[in-house]
Amino acid sequence: MTIPTFILKNALRNKRRATLSVLSVAVSLFLLVLLLVALREITLPVEGAGAELRVAVRNKISIANLLPAKQLPIIEKIPGVEAVTPFTWFGGKYKGEQGMTFAQFALDPKKLRAVFTEAKMAPESYAAFEAERDACIIGKITADKYKLKLGDKITLESTVYPVTMEFKIVGIYAGTPDDRNMLFRQDYLDESSGLKGQVGMWWLKVKSAQDMPKVISAINNAFANTSAEVRAESERAFQLSFISMWGNIKLLVMLICSAVIFTLLLVSASTMSMAIRERFRELAILKAIGFRRRELFAFILAESFGLAAAGAVIGVGGAYLLFTYGNVAKMTNGMFPSFEVTSRIVGTGALVAAVLGIVASIMPSIAVAKMSVTDGLKTLD
């Protein structure tokens, strides 16, 4: 027998308790990783070839308010602007589904490549999109989900406009941060809805990062004191403004994480204390045999740490494997196209487990330190 074997045998003496302890750590750490990854995904800056050069322009009062199409030539003339497209939310329901599982937007097909440079699809699809009136392109995630292919026709009933429209799929794109959306032509929407001259918002590309602040300022000023004042902001700021509508999501997630960790700490400390309390007499025997306090501390710490580590391997490791190799987009119904468990998050989970293992061993170690051999020998089972 070696010391590690001795520690392992003690840790597993009550297999049910050890299993439940490990599982409680595992489930809690799995939840912690889940929350941290979700928070990261929600607040992650948009990445892509053009994200840092894109500007969103929406109605200053509310994003639900439309903007006049006549703003287009004014924006196009602003120095630093490379390309502008309308971007109008359609809000269509597909196949009578209750909720919307993919968003649909109307835009200028000729400006697609210029503004959304990261979207990739076959060249003939771009051509068809520009040529055919009822053409649409679909993100790969949605195409795979509904098994849609080129040439298929889909019908959407709008919840925003009093219209049901039929579209023909001419392209399937990928490579954007959100490959779920459907894009179709603004002029087709104008014709079908009869609401020509109104757009949802503008998306534009600036020529360089240096141009962005000037362009944003120029756009805001251009329509100040008009009936359709605008808010122009970078794509990142636009994204964050959406998130802030949910409240302080970061604070909420952090509070939940803290509650999870605190509860886990209490449960683990209590379990360890109980496990050691049952062994006071045995620990007194070990002291009598010649084991010193520091050796007993090491046994307790190793056992506590081992249980926490086992929980971390299952919980954090399980989360990593599930979210890395599982189809998260399918699991979350497309809400999270990606769900990356970064090494930093894995490290956070491991650190929590390590701290847990150490803290849970403190009280039992203090109790053992205070216990004299004679008192320990008198302890009843």
Partner 1 sequence: MAPNGNIVSIRNLSKIYAQGEIQVTALDNISLDIVAGEFLTLMGPSGSGKSTLLHILAGIDRPTSGECHVQGVDVTKLNESQLADWRNQNVGFVFQTFNLLPVLTAFENVELPLLLTRLSRGQRRKQVETALELVGLADRMRHLPKQLSGGQEQRVAIARALVTDPKLIVADEPTGNLDSHSAQEVLSVLQSLSKQAGKTVIMVTHDPKAAAFGSRTIHLEKGELLK
Q: Smaller CB distance to partner 1: residue 157 or 278? A: 278
- Angle of helix 343-370 relative to helix 293-325, nearest 10 degrees, comes to 160
Q: Which residues pair with 185 in a beta bridge?
A: 107
Cβ-based nearer residue to partner 1, 342 or 372? 372
Are the beta carbons of 155 and 136 closer than 8 angstroms? no
In the complex, the smallest distance separating the C-beta of residue 376 from partner 1, rounded to whole angstroms, is: 10
State in angstroms the smallest separation of the CB of 377 from partner 1. 7
CA pseudo-torsion sign 18, 23, 26, 31: negative
Q: Which is nearer to partner 1, 3 or 74 (CB)?
A: 3
Cβ–Cβ < 8 Å for 287, 378: no
Given a contact cutoff of 8 angstroms between Cβ atoms, the answer to whether 165 and 155 are in contact is: yes
Question: Cα separations (Å) of 190 from 54, 56, 133, 180, 195?
Answer: 25, 21, 11, 23, 5
| Number of neighbours of residue 73 by Cβ within 10 angstroms | 9
Least Å distance, CB 103 to partner 1, is 60
Specify the residue, 265 or 373, whose C-beta has the smaller distance to partner 1. Answer: 373
Q: How far is the CB of 12 from partner 1 (least distance, A)?
A: 8
Q: What is the largest CA-CA distance in the chain?
A: 94
How far apart CA 160 and CA 165 sit, in angstroms, is 12
Task: Compare residues 86 and 306 and give the one whose CB is closer to partner 1.
Answer: 306
Q: How far is the CB of 305 from partner 1 (least distance, A)?
A: 19
Q: Which of 81, 75, 90 is nearest to 185 (CA)?
A: 90
Nearer to partner 1, 3 or 351 (CB): 3
Query: Site residues (CB under 8 A) for partner 1?
Result: 1-3, 6, 9-10, 12-13, 281-282, 285-293, 295, 372-374, 377
For the bound state, the minimum distance from the C-beta of residue 364 to partner 1, rounded and expressed in Å, comes to: 17
